[in-house]
């Protein structure tokens, strides 16, 4: 939620809970400086900080952000998981060869998270559970296997991430530090607590369970709703930059590019307006994408105050980075013919992109196909055929000179679409050479069926 | 002297006009298959990696026969040819008879905007040997995009337009006008040389 707003020096608190018992859910640094704490009642909070901004906490927004972070993390590791509440874990051991030793890697992660606008804590540990648990109290910690049990053991039980009542029970049992909990007999814990607690402790002891791995979605669809309507186009700059930054992170993690996306503006009083933004070649640089989107939006007039902005991208082609090879025979943006055909198909539709082939039928309409099925020669190679064929023959009323004909075409009696026509090649006054037909045995009127060109 | 540019480079890029001297380019020649026309053009054929404009008074006056030898040569060398939004159905038997390898021909159907987009994509991709399009109501800017795309993708582009556009300037490297009666072609513009003064007769259609 915090990241949907431009950075501002004002205190902000998110509220949650039923109407009669509203409490503070999360706060920013400025609000914390005024003495607000999560869990405080609204009345108390308002007494403490009267100039604070209040907003409603939205758990679905939180989940969307988690999805985004996971998509971003997928760029660094194929093993990303969202099983833990409020956290994204990724396996970094395999990735360090590529991204450098942990301090370098960590700095890179931090810079990108900050760019995406997330406040974060990062902890690296030999297993996912340990990392998640340590992240409750630490930031920037990197633990190796030998120091792991000591680091975990020092953790106070209330901060170990157990449910409040479980943590309470441990404390009442006299177990103050996590080391004591881990040392406690398994059977005793199994008897007193739900199985999830034991699983968690087992995982901390070094017997991790398999994690459900995150699968990145194949489309990007994000929406940003505003608390108040935005009337000026300049006010849309920030949300747009945020959305496009998210999109760029998403496609980069997939090692893909983006060639087309839609920006939808939702209004309170009008129907939503969709603006298509297209690029010449797949792109994934946030600055370039924003640039293109801005140019496109400059030409669009807003109907009125905007309530929400949505960004949808469902066509995610592979990204072809510009080639810097000195001996590259072709210019950049080169595609194979198959890739090109795919792109055309995607934009124009499958049926609109077809090949050409001849067929054995004597009837002109059936002597061609959109696809080669057999490699047989033509039936009537000897006869001249026009370069253009009209899909529907049309009556030809102009005076014409007959150059050649008639050629009798009589076929198809077996399938009920029989054809009995005399074809002539004629020349019109303008010099066009046309292929026309009449009913067999007659000299007109003519139907225009094609052009020699 | 901030920018010293080699003269050879300028000439090879065809950015300097040289009167009637034939321009040499780094690209292989693209003969039209019509000896008289090849001789009249400065590059021994179609301007390589450029857009060529074919202007005709109406459809069916020989605009395709003019291209068929080139298309037959390209498809014979397994270079795909894309026909973007043709005005009629390209009739396979005739194209086959003209020697075009149909396996390497792709036909697209699209509205005017989609056709421009597709033509530009095909030209730019450098995956095609030639791209044929019919940008009849296209703006000067759209034609320029096609010309730039041809250069970027180093692909032959052919734009068929009505002869009504002959008086308007065009960014195409070559402009050819077809006269129907008698059937001749006239070069209106060819980048790199003066257009030849005389028109060139077209071979008659093979009707029988």
| A125 pLDDT higher than 60 | yes
| A393 pLDDT higher than 60 | yes
Q: Where are the alpha helices (DSSP H) in chain B?
A: 7-12, 35-40, 68-76, 92-97, 112-125, 140-153
Task: For residue A362, give both structure tokens.
Answer: 């004597």
Yes or no, beta carbons of B92 and A403 under 8 Å apart:
no
Q: How far is the CA of A331 from the CAs of A90, A288, B30, B153, in angstroms?
A: 38, 20, 19, 6
C-alpha span between B15 and A196 (Å, rounded): 75
C-alpha span between A289 and A246 (Å, rounded): 11
Q: Residue B115: its pLDDT value, please?
A: 92
Mean pLDDT, chain A, integer: 77
Q: Mean pLDDT, to the nearest integer, of B81-91?
A: 93
More confident site: A59 or A390:
A390
Residues 80-139 of B with CB under 8 A from A: 80, 86-98, 102-103, 105-110, 114, 117-118, 120-122, 124-128
Nearest CB to A356 within list B88, B95, B183: B95
Q: Does A431 touch chain B (CB under 8 A)?
A: yes
More confident site: B42 or A298:
B42
C-alpha span between A50 and A345 (Å, rounded): 59
Yes or no, beta carbons of B92 and A431 under 8 Å apart:
no
User: What is the distance in angstroms between the Cα of B154 and the nearest Cα belonging to chain A?
Assistant: 7
C-alpha span between A75 and A249 (Å, rounded): 9
| A203 pLDDT higher than 90 | no
Strands A123-124 and A306-313 come out as unpaired
First to last CA, chain B: 65
Q: How would residue A381 be classed by pLDDT, with cut points 50, 70 and 90? A: low
pLDDT tens figures, A57-73: 777 777 778 888 888 88
More confident site: A51 or B195:
B195
pTM: 0.53
E strand or H helix at B16, and its extent?
none
Contacts of A425 in chain B (CB under 8 A): 207
| B6 pLDDT higher than 80 | no
Most B CBs within 10 Å: which of A282, A431, A433, as the mutation test of the B interface? A431
Contacts of A337 in chain B (CB under 8 A): 80, 125, 127-128
Yes or no, beta carbons of B60 and A333 under 8 Å apart:
no
Q: Please give the ipTM for the structure prediction.
A: 0.85
User: What is the distance in angstroms between the Cα of B27 and the nearest Cα belonging to chain A?
Assistant: 12
C-alpha span between A148 and A350 (Å, rounded): 57
> Which residues are within 8 A (CB) of B54 and not within 5 positions of it... i.e. 6 or more apart?
B63, B66, B67, B158, B159, B160, B161, B176, B178
Q: Residue B39: its pLDDT value, please?
A: 86
Q: How would residue B109 be classed by pLDDT, with cut points 50, 70 and 90? A: very high
Q: How would residue A45 be classed by pLDDT, with cut points 50, 70 and 90? A: confident
Q: How would residue A2 be classed by pLDDT, with cut points 50, 70 and 90? A: very low
Nearest chain B residue to A354, by CA? B107
Q: Residue A27: its pLDDT value, please?
A: 72
User: What is the distance in angstroms between the Cα of B32 and the nearest Cα belonging to chain A?
Assistant: 16
Nearest chain B residue to A335, by CA? B125
Q: Does B60 touch chain A (CB under 8 A)?
A: yes
Contacts of A330 in chain B (CB under 8 A): 126, 153-154
Contacts of B96 in chain A (CB under 8 A): 358, 378
Q: Mean pLDDT, to the nearest integer, of B69-84?
A: 93
From the centroid of its chain, how far is CA A96? 26
Q: Residue A328: its pLDDT value, please?
A: 46
pLDDT tens figures, A258-288: 888 888 888 877 888 888 877 767 777 888 7
DSSP string, B60-91: SSSTTTTTHHHHHHHHHTT--EEEES-SSEE-
Q: How would residue A191 be classed by pLDDT, with cut points 50, 70 and 90? A: confident
Closest by CA position to B153, among listed B54, B82, B201:
B82
Nearest CB to A452 within list B57, B181, B205: B205
Strands A123-124 and A141-142 come out as parallel
Q: Does A333 touch chain B (CB under 8 A)?
A: yes
C-alpha span between A330 and A348 (Å, rounded): 26
- Using an 8 Å Cβ cutoff, are A179 and A171 in contact? no
C-alpha span between A30 and A45 (Å, rounded): 13
Nearest chain B residue to A402, by CA? B207
More confident site: A334 or A228:
A228
pLDDT tens figures, A307-335: 888 888 887 777 666 554 555 444 445 67
Question: Tokens 């067929």 belong to which residue?
Answer: A359
More confident site: A84 or A436:
A436
pLDDT tens figures, B118-165: 999 999 888 899 999 999 888 888 999 999 999 988 899 999 999 888
Yes or no, beta carbons of A344 and B103 under 8 Å apart:
no
Q: Which residue segments constitute the domains of chain A, with CATH numbers given? A: 2-57 (3.40.1170.60), 60-205 (no CATH), 220-313 (3.30.1490.100), 378-452 (no CATH)
More confident site: B84 or A50:
B84
Neighbours of A372 (CB within 10 A): 15
Give, as one character, the DSSP assignment of residue B104: G
Q: How would residue B208 be classed by pLDDT, with cut points 50, 70 and 90? A: low
C-alpha span between A244 and B87 (Å, rounded): 40
Q: Which residue segments constitute the domains of chain B, with CATH numbers given? A: 27-201 (3.40.50.300)
More confident site: A210 or B69:
B69
């Amino acid at each position: 939620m915090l990241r949907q707003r431009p950075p501002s020096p004002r205190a902000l608190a998110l509220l949650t809970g039923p109407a009669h018992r509203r409490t503070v859910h999360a706060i920013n640094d400025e609000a914390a400086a005024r003495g607000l704490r999560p869990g405080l009642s609204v009345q108390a909070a308002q007494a403490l900080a009267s100039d604070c901004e209040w907003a409603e906490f939205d758990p679905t927004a939180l989940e969307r952000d988690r999805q985004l972070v996971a998509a971003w993390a997928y760029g660094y590791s194929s093993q990303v998981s969202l099983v833990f509440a409020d956290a994204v874990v990724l396996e970094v051991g395999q990735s360090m060869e590529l991204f450098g030793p942990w301090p370098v890697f960590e700095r890179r992660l931090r810079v990108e998270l900050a760019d995406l606008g997330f406040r974060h804590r990062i902890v690296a540990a030999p297993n996912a559970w340990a990392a998640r648990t340590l992240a409750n109290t630490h930031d920037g910690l990197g633990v190796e296997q030998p120091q792991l049990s000591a680091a975990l053991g020092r953790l106070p039980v209330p901060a170990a991430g157990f449910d409040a009542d479980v943590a309470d029970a441990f404390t009442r049992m006299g177990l103050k530090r996590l080391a004591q909990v881990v040392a406690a007999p398994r059977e005793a814990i199994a008897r007193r607590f739900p199985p999830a607690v034991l699983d968690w402790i087992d995982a901390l002891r070094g017997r991790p369970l398999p994690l459900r791995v995150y699968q990145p979605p194949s489309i990007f669809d994000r929406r940003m709703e505003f608390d108040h309507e935005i009337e000026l186009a300049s006010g849309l700059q920030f949300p747009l930059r945020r959305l496009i930054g998210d999109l760029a992170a998403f496609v980069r993690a997939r090692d893909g590019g983006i060639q087309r996306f839609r920006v939808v503006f939702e209004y309170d009083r009008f129907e939503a307006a969709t603006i298509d933004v297209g690029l010449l070649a797949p792109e994934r640089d946030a600055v370039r994408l924003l640039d293109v989107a801005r140019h496109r939006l400059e030409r669009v007039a807003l109907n009125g105050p905007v309530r929400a902005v949505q960004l949808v991208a469902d066509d995610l082609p592979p990204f072809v980075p510009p080639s810097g090879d000195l001996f590259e025979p072709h210019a950049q943006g080169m595609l194979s013919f198959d890739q090109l055909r795919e792109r055309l198909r995607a934009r124009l539709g499958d049926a609109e992109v077809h090949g050409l082939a001849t067929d054995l039928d004597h009837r002109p309409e059936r002597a061609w196909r959109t696809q080669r099925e057999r490699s047989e020669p033509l039936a009537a190679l000897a006869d001249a055929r026009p370069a253009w064929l009209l899909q529907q023959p049309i009556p030809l009323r102009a005076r014409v000179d007959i150059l050649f004909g008639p050629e009798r075409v009589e076929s198809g009696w077996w399938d009920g679409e029989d054809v009995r026509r005399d074809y002539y090649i004629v020349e019109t006054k303008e010099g066009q050479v046309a292929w026309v037909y009449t009913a067999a045995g007659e000299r007109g009127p003519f139907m225009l069926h094609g052009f020699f060109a | 002297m901030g920018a010293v540019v080699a003269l050879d480079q300028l000439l090879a890029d065809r950015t300097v006009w040289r009167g009637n001297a034939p321009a040499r380019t780094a690209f292989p020649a693209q003969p039209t298959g019509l000896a008289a026309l090849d001789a009249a053009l400065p590059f021994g054929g179609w301007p390589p990696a450029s857009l060529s404009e074919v202007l005709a008074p109406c459809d069916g006056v020989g605009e395709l026969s003019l291209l068929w030898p080139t298309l037959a040569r390209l498809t014979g060398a397994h270079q795909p040819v894309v026909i973007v939004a043709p005005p009629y159905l390209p009739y396979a038997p005739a194209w086959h008879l003209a020697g075009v390898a149909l396996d390497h021909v792709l036909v697209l159907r699209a509205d005017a905007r989609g056709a421009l987009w597709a033509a530009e994509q095909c030209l730019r991709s450098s995956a095609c040997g030639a791209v044929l399009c019919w940008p009849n109501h296209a703006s000067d800017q759209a034609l320029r995009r096609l010309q730039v795309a041809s250069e970027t993708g180093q692909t032959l582009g052919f734009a068929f337009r009505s002869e009504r556009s002959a008086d308007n300037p065009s960014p195409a490297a070559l402009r050819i006008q077809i006269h129907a009666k008698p059937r001749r072609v006239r070069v209106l513009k060819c980048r790199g040389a003066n257009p030849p003064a005389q028109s060139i007769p077209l071979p008659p259609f093979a009707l029988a």
